[in-house]
Amino acid sequence: MPPRAAAARGRPSTGGTQGGAGTQAGGGAGGSGGAGPSNRNAEPIPDYVTFTVIQALMPAGAMLEDDVKAMVRRLMKANSDAHFQAALSKIGEDTGFLDLAIERIKLPATNKWYLCVVNKLKDSASMTMGSHYTPDQLSFYRAVVEAISSAAPDGGCVLAEVSSVELVNLDVGARATQAAGGDTQAGTQAAKPKRLSMAEKQTLLGRLAAEGWLHATPGGTYTLGPRTLSELKDFVLGTVSAEVAQQLQTDYM
């Protein structure tokens, strides 16, 4: 989220995105079949289980699905993931009043599934990040997302991986400033961002990667992280090529 809802941390959602998130949290997560008739008499999920998972997931914004499964197994004292779907559904119910949803995102760079906390309100990425990032940092983040999304991926990659040298040299223009700084012209002018130094941009890239907005590859490049793919899903899908958008929607979202 970079930031205003501290509980959620981490994108603009549309009606379709919200609907997909609800479906995924209710029965799509886990890779195995959803809760069907055979699960109607399953052991109920205690409140302390979902509370513990929520306490871990919300500050992080995104967690590896395998880590969440392991947490549920430990809390339920189980040897299988039989309780995972029910726990995920209950988490979705318990966080719904906060206008939050839990989405599954498969990170193309690693082919690993993540569970992401998604703010269903308009422009939720700016809201989530707003209390943790300055306007100039948000502007740079949006410019980085656009640069990665619009770049042509190299052979075999779904999304482009861009070097830190190229990213820190991005010219953050007025359009990115307005998108990250606020909805009104007055608000944008009141919080006009300053230019970040190269060192500040480099530090910010590392922070964005640590918080799941970007993903740092072993080769020293950056690509989109799970939180960006969930919080800024519509923006990403509208910026990448039609072929990549189709692949992301089919295999990764």
DSSP for 76-97, written as a single string: HT-SSSTTHHHHHHHHHHHHGG
Tokens for 9, please give them. 């941390």
Three-state SS at 118: strand
pLDDT tens sequence across 14-45: 333 333 433 345 444 444 433 333 444 567 89
Confidence tier at 125 by pLDDT (50, 70, 90): low
| pTM of model > 0.85 | no
**At a CB cut-off of 8 Å and minimum separation 6, what does 156 contact?**
none
In contact, 48 and 94? CB cutoff 8 Å:
no
Percent helix, strand and coil across the chain, each to the nearest 5: 55, 10, 35
Closest CA to 148 of 194, 230, 193, 215: 215
pLDDT tens sequence across 52-90: 999 999 999 999 999 999 999 999 999 999 999 999 999
In contact, 149 and 236? CB cutoff 8 Å:
yes
Domains of the chain: 15-121 (3.90.1150.220), 125-251 (1.10.10.10)
Higher-confidence residue of 94 and 222: namely 222
pLDDT number for residue 43: 76
Query: For a pLDDT cut of 70, what percent of the chain falls above it?
Result: 71
Please state, in angstroms and rounded to a whole number, the distance separating the CA atoms of residues 180 and 174.
Answer: 10
pLDDT tens sequence across 239-249: 999 999 999 99
